Structure 1
C-alpha cells in the first residue's frame, strides 16, 4: 500500500500539469561532471583539492593551488537505455551528446607564509541528456482508463469542469472524441481498456551548469579555508510521445499524445569548506553547501491526435503554449572527506555526502503549494552518497581509478533509484601543460509504472498500469587541458 501511495504521489501533476515530483528530484540532484582527473577518481575530491572540480565539492581545495591555471574540459556521453516489462520483453534506445564539463581560471597571490587563491568558471553538476523508448502489449488497461479514474476521483461531471482541472492532458481526450460524458454520470471511450500496444518515447536534453566565484586561503600549508558564491543555471527540455495502438486487420486504430516541456532558471547558493593536514600522510576535509534558491520557469504544450478508422474518428487538438513561474529551495548538503597520502607516489581518497531530498520546497506568488510539499516529504527521504578514488604517479604520468555510489532519494526500498559509477583514467604533464583523460561507466536501474497506479474505471479492484524496469548505461569519455602560468 505504501509503495502504491508513493507511486501515486510521483505521478501527481502540479497545477501547471507538466511538472511532477520526479522533475523536482532531477533539478535538486547533483551528479558532478567535472575535470577528467576528478571523474577518473570517482569525484572523491573533497580532501584532495588542487583541481577546479573540487571547488564544486569543497572550495577549500582551491587553496592547494601553487600556480595560476587555466582549464577546459569537454566530454562525449553515450547513453544506452533498455526498458522492459518484468516478464522480460525489452525495447532499446540510445543517445550521444557533446558537452563542456567545466572551464575556469585560478589565480594565486602569496602574502608572507600564507597564500590566497581565487577562481572563476563553470562546473557542470547534472546531465539530462537521454532517450527512452517503451514498446509493450497491455492486456489489462489503458491510459484512458487511468484518466477516467482521475476524473471520478475529482468529481468531474462535464467538459467545462474537465478543462478547469486538466486543460493540457485530459481535456484534449474529450476534444478528440476519445471520451464522452453521459447524463447518468458514466463515461465511455472508443479505446478498449486493455488489449492494445502501448509505446512511449522520451527524448530529453540539457543539464545544470554552476557558475562559481571562489576564494580560499592557505594558512602555512596546515589549514585551508574556502568559500564560493555560485549561480547554477538549469536548462532542461523534454519531448514525450505516448501512443496506444489497437488496430485490426480491417482498421487502423490508434491515438497519440505528445508533450513538449522545458524548465529553465537561475539559482544562488554558497559553499564553505575546510581542509586540514593533521599529519603529512593524511588530509581531512569538510564542506557545507547551503540550499539553492531557484527561480524557475516551466513551458509546456501538448498535441493529441486520434485516428480510429473503426469509428470514423480523425481529430487533433493542440494546446497553446503555457508558462508557469515558481521558486524551488533544494536541500543543503554536508560532505566529509579523507585522503591518505603516500608521499609523491599516490593517494587513496574517500568522500561521504549527506542530503535530505524530503526538504525540497516549492512556492509561487499565485499558487498554494502545501499539498505538493506534503507529497514531497512523503515521497523522498534522506540519503547518502559515497565516492572513492585513487591516484598513482610514475615520472610524468598519473594513473587513476574511482567508484561512486549515489543512494536512492525515495522513502522506501521498493522504489529503487540508486546509481553506481566506475571510472579510470590517466594524466600526462610536460612543463606547464597537462592533459588528463577519463572513462566513466554509470549504471542506474529504475522501476516505475508507465502512467499511474489509479484504480481502473471498469474494475472495482483495480489493476496497476504496466511496471517498467528501466536500465540506463552511460559511457562518458572526458579530456581536460590544463595550462599553468609560471
Structure 2
C-alpha cells in the first residue's frame, strides 16, 4: 500500500526515485514551514524570536506573551497568487493559482501587575491562536512532444512479470489495473500465465514509437494548521519565559490531470489519446510542545531563544482515486467488441493509515531598538530534518527503508531571518528577508531548492486598535518526473508565490 504515499510530493506517475525516497520527501513536505503569523510579523520576515508583544508569539516564542500590557484579539486574512513557469522537453508553460485563507486568529488575556505594586514577578498573559503554518496551495503545468517514450511504456515496464491472471482477477496495482482495463497495455496472449505486455501507442514501420504530445496539470491544495495554547510570564521586566501546547492539523490534496495525444497519421495509429486523473487526499492530527525565553538587559537590546519539539502525528489517512479515459481510432486487434471510448476508475481503494514524527527545531535571535524610532531583529532556526520518521498503525517495519533513506540523505537545515520596523507617530514601515536552506545532503537533479522570501509591510497603531498589511514574495525551484523510464523526462519549475496579508486587531 506504500505506493499511494509516494504520490504525495508530486511524482504520482511512477516517480524517478525509489518509493522510499519519495515517501521521505512527503515527510519533508509535511514538516516544512513558511513565513506565517500576523501581518506585522510577516512584514518583518518572521524574525520574532527576541521581540514579543504580538499575537504571533503564541505560536512562535511564547515568552513574548510576557510583554503584553493589554488584552488583545486579532484576525489575519490572506490572499495568495502563484505564477510558475515550467520547462519540459525544451518547452516552457506557465501556470498558477490564487487562494484566499485565514492566516491567523488570536486572543490574548493579559494580567500584568500594576507599576505601583512591588515585587519582581510582573504578571503574564495567556494566549490562544489558530495559525496557518505552511500552505500547500500551488499549481503548475507542463507540455511537450516526446519522441522517445510514452507513459504507457512505463506501464508496460511495470506490468512485465505480473501474470495475466492478476489483471483478470483485479489484484494488480491500481494504476496498472486501469491501464489494462482501458487497453493501454495488453498481454501478448490470453494465457493466465502470460507476463509480457505491449502498449497501444504503437510504432511506425521501422519500429520507432510514435511521438506523443504530453501535458499535465498538477494542482496542490490544503495547508498545515496549528492551534496553540500558550502562557508567557514576566520576571523583573528583564526575563520573559513561556510555554505552549500545539495541536497540529494537516489537510493536503493533490490532483494530477495527465494527457497524451498520439502524433501520427490516423490510418496508422490505434490509440488517439488518453487521460489519467489521480486524486490524493491526506488528513491527520498531531501534537507538539514548545518553550522559550527572552532576556532584556536594557531598553536597547533583547536576546531570545525557543525550542519546538517534534510534532507527533498519530494518524495520517491517505485516500487515492485514479481514473483513466482512453479514446481509440480502431480496436479490432485489441479484442472483440472493444469500444472506441474507454473510461475506468477505482473509488473503493481502502485508505492507508500511518504515523509521522517531524523534526525538532531550535531558534535563537536578537533585537536591537533605537528608542521609539524602531528596531532591527534577526534570528536563526535549526531544524533536524534527518530525524523525521514514519511508522505504521501496527508498529511494523513497513517504513524501515524509508527511515533509513531519511537518515542517509537528509541533513539539518538552517532558516535565517532578518527584519526591521521604522516608527513615526502612529505609522509603521517594515521589511524583511528569509533564507530557507536545503534539507538534502546532496543536490538532486543539480537543482538549487533554496527558498528565498522577501517581505514588506506597513501599519497604523492607535490606542484602541491597529491595522497592518504585509506582502511576502517567495521564490524557489522544484523538480518533477512524470514517470519512471529510461530516458526519464523531467520538469523544472520556477515557483513564484506572492502573498498579501491584512491584520486587524483590538485591545480590551
Give the TM-score, by structure 1 length.
Answer: 0.89
Partner of 1:303: 323
Once the two structures are TM-superposed, the CA of residue 56 in structure 1 deviates from its matched residue by 2.3
CA deviations 1:431-480 (Å, max 9, x no partner) are 2110001111111112332323x4xxxxxxx31x2221101111111110
Partner of 1:218: 234
Once the two structures are TM-superposed, the CA of residue 20 in structure 1 deviates from its matched residue by 3.7
1:425 corresponds, among 457, 471, 476, to 457
Answer yes or no: is 1:315 the counterpart of 2:346.
no
Q: How does 1:39-58 map to 2 (within 5 A)?
A: 39-58=42-61
Partner of 1:350: 378
Partner of 1:158: 164
2:428 counterpart SS class? strand
Answer yes or no: is 1:404 the counterpart of 2:404.
no
Once the two structures are TM-superposed, the CA of residue 310 in structure 1 deviates from its matched residue by 4.3
1:285 corresponds, among 304, 307, 312, to 304
1:25 counterpart SS class? helix
CA deviations 1:130-176 (Å, max 9, x no partner) are 12111111122222222333445xx5343518988863222211121
Answer yes or no: is 1:68 the counterpart of 2:80.
no
Partner of 1:481: 504
Once the two structures are TM-superposed, the CA of residue 379 in structure 1 deviates from its matched residue by 3.9
d(CA) in 2 for partners of 1:226 and 1:163? 59
d(CA) in 1 for partners of 2:363 and 2:101? 27
Change (3 A) 1:401 1:120: same
d(CA) in 1 for partners of 2:25 and 2:186? 31
CA deviations 1:44-93 (Å, max 9, x no partner) are 11111111113322111111111110011001111111111373x21111
| Contact 2:69/2:112 (<8 A) preserved | no
Question: Which has the greater radius of gyration?
Answer: 2
CA deviations 1:167-217 (Å, max 9, x no partner) are 322221112111123467432111255621111111221111110100011
1:331 corresponds, among 352, 359, 384, to 359
Partner of 1:445: 477
| Contact 2:77/2:503 (<8 A) preserved | yes
d(CA) in 2 for partners of 1:150 and 1:385? 40
Partner of 2:217: 201
| Contact 1:10/1:20 (<8 A) preserved | no
Q: How does 1:121-270 map to 2 (within 5 A)?
A: 121-151=129-159, 155-160=161-166, 167-182=173-188, 185-192=195-202, 195-250=211-266, 253-270=272-289
d(CA) in 1 for partners of 2:392 and 2:174? 20
CA deviations 1:394-445 (Å, max 9, x no partner) are 1111110001111122221224322111111111012211000111111111
| Contact 1:402/1:422 (<8 A) preserved | yes
d(CA) in 2 for partners of 1:277 and 1:162? 72
Residues 188-197 or 403-412, more deviating: 188-197
2:493 corresponds, among 429, 453, 470, to 470
| Contact 1:237/1:262 (<8 A) preserved | yes
Gaps of 5+ in 1: 1-6, 455-461
d(CA) in 2 for partners of 1:39 and 1:33? 6
Residues 216-225 or 245-254, more deviating: 245-254
2:404 counterpart SS class? helix
d(CA) in 2 for partners of 1:411 and 1:149? 31
| Contact 1:11/1:20 (<8 A) preserved | no
1:228 counterpart SS class? strand
Residues 190-199 or 404-413, more deviating: 190-199
2:107 corresponds, among 105, 108, 131, to 105
d(CA) in 1 for partners of 2:73 and 2:473? 27
Change (3 A) 1:145 1:63: same
| Contact 2:274/2:325 (<8 A) preserved | yes
Answer yes or no: is 1:391 the counterpart of 2:421.
yes
| Contact 1:72/1:104 (<8 A) preserved | yes
2:277 counterpart SS class? strand
Residues 340-349 or 373-382, more deviating: 373-382
Partner of 1:380: 410
Gaps of 5+ in 2: 1-10, 114-118, 203-208, 333-339
1:57 counterpart SS class? coil
Once the two structures are TM-superposed, the CA of residue 42 in structure 1 deviates from its matched residue by 0.5
| Contact 1:349/1:390 (<8 A) preserved | yes
1:173 counterpart SS class? helix
1:60 counterpart SS class? helix
| Contact 2:58/2:129 (<8 A) preserved | no
| Contact 1:133/1:199 (<8 A) preserved | yes
Answer yes or no: is 1:436 the counterpart of 2:478.
no
Once the two structures are TM-superposed, the CA of residue 10 in structure 1 deviates from its matched residue by 6.7
Give the TM-score, by structure 2 length.
Answer: 0.86
d(CA) in 2 for partners of 1:248 and 1:358? 49
